[in-house]
Amino acid sequence: MDFRQEIREDDIIVFSLLYSSITVVFAMAVLSKFLTNEFRFGFRSFLSLVVLFIGEPLCQFFVQGPGGLLVFGFGCLCIYSILPASHLPAGDKVVLVTGCDSGFGNALVKKLDSIGMKVFAGCLYSDGPGAIDLTNSCSDRMKILQLDITKPDEVSDAVTCVSQHLGEEGLWGLVNNAGVWYFAELEMTSEKVLQKVLDVNLLGAVRVTKACLPLIRKAKGRIVNVSSLTGRVPVEGNGAYAMSKHGLVAFSDTLRLEMRKWGVHVALIEPTGFSTGNMKDYILRSRKEEIWNSLGEATQLTYGREYLDSTYSNIISAVPRFPKDLSPVIRSMRSALLSKRPRERYPCGMGAEIVICLYPLLPIWLGDKLSVAIGFIPKMLLPKTLRSQNRV
């Protein structure tokens, strides 16, 4: 009995050493991702901690023996496989980014320039405040381009300028970031406003992508399209915007399949609400007036000016709660451009991954309640005609 007991104690010591070895290797691998700025605390990092602190004792004391060791090792391998991959060298790569006057585009250009990439920043106003800010903040590698993506001539001129600065390697990346947001119910969205939103958010991205494809195919590079949570989850009052982003999702998914044979990867960035140029007070007030002035008299009488004013007041009061830190979106864009194992979709922002995954699984009535809950229109706010009827 003593001999068998001694053998068992020796086995326990051996297995403990093996478990410790796997734990140390896994912990060092995860830590290296934090230290190289490729990984931030989130759901996947939480799983890593669960495996380290709960998985090991569960396998060691309940599964036991070689089986427990194999389960623990396989679990570590599975978790590590879903962590962000390391990044490719940035220094020799050229990227074109649209919509760089403010917001995500402006912040992305500064980030990519800081890690040594050569960036062409497409601005709606090449002599505007955003372009001046980039010129003062970035190195000489960064070039400002005059680029209104709704104008084919400017798109053609910008792509020609980029091609003249490229070598044999071609254009590594295109980030279709330019976008515009109008908040109005569909009946209050005139055809003129709808056309503007679609032209910028969808057709503009298609226009720039098709113009750049020969250069991107040459580099076997990356296309990154900036969509939104509303690209997959409809939100009341975001009809025109959601239509454009739903279209961009379909465009990206189809393009991804078609570009695989060329070695080109297509990724979709899906942020929640952030404090960007579209959310500035004067921009919101200007677009409110544009919405109202574009309506026919019958629609104005149906909804009433008070309804539109109250809706936009609610939005303006909510803006301070929007995150000003754009780094979650910028990290996703950088990963889509440089990761050795890029993802097809990057939900980013508080709760984005949960909402996008949960919404398609819900029954329609419950999904509608979720959409209303994340919207801007208070339940008690009613159009003019409905208010009149309720008083009768």
Show the DSSP H helices in the chain as ranges: 2-35, 43-50, 56-58, 65-82, 103-114, 129-137, 152-164, 191-198, 204-219, 239-259, 281-293, 297-303, 305-318, 327-338, 352-358, 364-373, 384-391
Per the listing, tokens 């993506």 go with: 149
Is 288:308 a contact under the CB 8 Å cutoff?
A: yes
Of 19, 125, 182, 241, catalytic: 241
Torsion 102-100-227-242 (CA) sign: positive
The residues near 102 (Cβ < 8 Å, ≥ 6 apart) are 130, 276, 277
Q: Residues of 100-123 as b/e, b for ≥16 C-beta within 10 angstroms?
A: bbbbbbbbbbbbbbeeebbbbbbb
Which of the 8 DSSP states describes residue 379?
A: T
Is 282 part of the annotated catalytic residue set? no
Distance CA 268, CA 343 (A): 9
Enclosing H/E stretch for 348: strand 345-348
Calculate Rg over the CA atoms of the chain.
26
- Known catalytic residues? 241
